Amino acid sequence: MDRIDRAILMALQTDSTATSAALGEKIGLSPSACHRRIKMLEADGVIDRYVAQLSETALGQRSTVFVAVTLDNQRRETLDGFERGLQNCREVLDGYLMSGESDYLLRVVVADGDSYERIHKDILSSLPGVRRLISSFAIKPVIRRTAEPLPMKAAYTNRPMS
């Protein structure tokens, strides 16, 4: 990955709807060269997908809850069952398999405490293998980034430069 790839990625993380012409002008490439590089970054899996960042507040989701989940055991079938069940809970925006005291850490967004109570009782506590849920309500966001930090050195080199 060279400085031009990094510039393209930084620009796309700010505005993924920018055209190849607009990106090329911003970073000093022709639209076709910019388009070619974007397609290579997509093909190489560096660009995973394009999404719209929605406002949780505007959608009425005013509370963020972090949930530490402890399972009954660490067997593959228990972990897989929990992860499959978690896919059906749209309020869970992020979920991580963890090391340490808890098995998973989830980020849940809800309108209010009553909404979370329903999710806690009806969904999360009934997922396969769940032994314990520890919920912590966020007071306010302090920092929230969507842009990935980009490496300064080549992370992959399996393609020709243009």
Q: For residue range 58-94, what is the model confidence (pLDDT) as tens digits?
A: 877 789 999 999 999 999 999 999 999 999 899 999 9
| 74 and 111 co-located in one domain | yes
Domains: count for the chain: 2
Instruction: Decide if 161 is inside a domain.
Output: no
Same domain as 71, residue 18: no
162 confidence band (pLDDT: 50, 70, 90)? very low
For the chain, how many residues are written?
162
Say if CB 4 and CB 27 are below 8 A apart.
Answer: yes
Q: Which domain holds residue 97?
A: 63-137
Residues 125 and 69 in one domain: yes
Same domain, 16 and 75: no
- What's the predicted TM-score (pTM) here? 0.77
Residues 39 and 68 in one domain: no
Which CATH number do you get for residue 28? 1.10.10.10
**Residue 130 maps to which CATH number?**
3.30.70.920
Both 67 and 130 in one domain: the answer is yes
- What average pLDDT does the chain have? 90
